[in-house]
Amino acid sequence: MIRQQYDQIVKYTTALRLGTAEAEEVLRRFTRGGPKHPTYRAIEELGRTVRTASGRSGPPTPAGGTCRHCSGPT
């Protein structure tokens, strides 16, 4: 699923990082009626995979912590 939706995940992530899309707008698109959007499902699966690989069951970093992958704030 992640592999199939990879290009879309990158597209939405890039738009959010560049500020060309608002998070609320993207979430609205993903959650609008009917079954879950395929890209949304893939992002959920990616999140579960990352948490499993890192051995964590909670959020990736504590509130106000530092991201261990990019050394930047969360």
Q: Where are the domains of the chain?
A: 2-54
Residues above pLDDT 90, as percent of the chain: 59
Give yes or no for residue 22 having a pLDDT over 90: yes
Looking at residue 11, its pLDDT comes to: 97
Confidence of residue 24 (pLDDT cuts 50, 70, 90): very high
Count other C-beta atoms under 10 Å from residue 18's C-beta: 8
Q: Which of 26, 1, 24 is nearest to 11 (CA)?
A: 26
Phi-psi sector, 17: left (phi>0), alpha (psi -120 to 50), beta: alpha
Distance CA 7, CA 37 (A): 14
Question: In angstroms, rounded to a whole number, what is the distance separating the alpha carbons of residues 73 and 68?
Answer: 9
